[in-house]
Structure 1
Amino acid sequence: MFERFTNRARAVVVQAQQEAREQLAPAIGAEHLLLGLLPDDQSLAMRTLTELGVGPAQVREAVERHCASGAGLLDDGDVEALRAIGIDAAEVLRRAEAELGVLPSAGAPTKWRLRMTAEAKKTLELSLREAVALKHKYIGTEHLLLGLLRGASGGLAEVFADLGVTHDQVREVVLATLRRTG
């Protein structure tokens, strides 16, 4: 399937892996794919979100509010308790990885490629379906965004609700943009 990804869509997956690593998540989740869209403001996905009045900072804040699981190895309660006494759990784990080369926990992220969660894999599958439905022979950032919206559940659904963005709105803007640009 990755052979059908545009260079921009591939960059999203690479950035998603980086986002997951920075959060010390044990795997790449759908929320990391969403965050992976943010750096390229010229991608169709980001132009669409901008047209809908949503910027990268808003997306990141909503993801942090609804999806962030602290450092990935600790539960939310652990992270909050450490934060209350002035300890940044993510920074402590980053330093441990830097010094030890790997985090001291089974399944912890390493410098190697992270696996994807079932939700992230489903997002990629739905992205392919979105491309096929639009009769496109490629998978671009717009298809990734549509796939994220179509499969959103839990925290990710709350992110999109918070942002006021729906699948139908995004699809409409994407189609209008594609008609204008040919």
Structure 2
Amino acid sequence: MFERFSGDARRTVVQAQHEARGLGHGRIGTVHLLLGLLDPGDDPATAPAARVLSEHGATAEAVRRAAQEAREAREPATAPGRRPRTGRLFGSHIPFSKRAKKAMELSLREALRFDRRRIDGSHILLGVLRTGGGASGALEQAGVDTDALRRTAEQIARASDGPR
């Protein structure tokens, strides 16, 4: 499926892996994908999903904070002397969580729904929003209206002049 990804979408996945590793998480989840989308990279013009998220009030700091708070609420604190889980058991690759895999599958469906052959950041954003879970909760905790965000992301995906 990654051969269908635009440069923006590939950068999002790479950034999501960096975010998961930086937070000490053993899997790439939907929150990490969201954080990857929030990073516009070197050229903000090629990252419309980052612009849309920003316009709706989402910030990487707020999403990261919400993700950490949710994780701390789910899992007890790391015992003294123990290190947080990381993807090291799997080598340098960090696997996707089930929900993140679903979001990636849905991003392909979103691209096809808008008659696109390539998956871009707006399709990943729509996939993440459709799966719900941690990313949606983090956005809501950050004060983002996810329904309005979804409508704007659909407009961007519809207007995209990418390859059909």
TM normalised by structure 1 equals 0.70
The yes-or-no answer on 1:69 pairing with 2:71 is yes
Corresponding residue number in structure 2 for 1:85: none
1:178 is aligned to 2:160: yes
Matches of 2:95 and 2:102 in 1, distance apart?
Answer: 13
Matching of residue 21 in structure 1 with residue 21 in structure 2:
yes
Could you tell me how far apart the structure 1 residues matched to 2:156 and 2:123 are? 12
SS state at 2:102 partner: helix
Distance verdict in 2 for CA 1:122–1:174, change over 3 Å: same
CA distance in 1, matches of 2:75, 2:29: 17
Q: Corresponding residue for 2:144? A: 163
Answer with 165-174 or 22-31: which moved more.
165-174
| Runs of 4+ with deviation above 4 angstroms | none
C-alpha distance in 2, partners of 1:32/1:2? Answer: 17
Q: Is the 8 A contact 1:26 1:114 kept in 2?
A: yes
Distance in structure 2 (CA, Å) of the matches to 1:127 and 1:19: 20
Between the aligned partners of 2:109 and 2:61, the Cα distance in structure 1 is 26
1:3-34 per-residue CA deviation (whole Å, 9 max, x = no partner) reads 00011111111111111111110111111111
Instruction: Please give the TM-score of this superposition, normalised by the length of structure 2.
Output: 0.77
What is the aligned residue count? 150
Cross-structure match for 2:129 = 149
Aligned in 2, Cα 1:160/1:65: closer, same or farther, shift over 3 Å? Answer: closer
Unpaired stretches in structure 1, ≥5 consecutive residues: 83-88, 94-102
**Structure 1: how far apart are the matches of 2:16 and 2:10?**
10
CA drift at 1:59: 4.1
The structure with the larger Rg is 1
- Alpha-carbon distance between aligned partners in 1 of 2:75 and 2:65, rounded to the nearest angstrom: 12
| Structure 2: unaligned runs, 5 residues or longer | none
- The residue that corresponds to 2:34 in the other structure is 34
Contact 1:149–1:160 (8 Å) recurs in 2: no
Shift of 1:38: 1.9
Map of 2:106 onto structure 1: 126
Residue of structure 2 in register with 1:78 after alignment: 77
Output the amino acid matched with 1:29.
Answer: G
Deviations, residues 65-92 of structure 1 (Å, cap 9, x unaligned): 245525xxxx64426x98xxxxxx9xx8
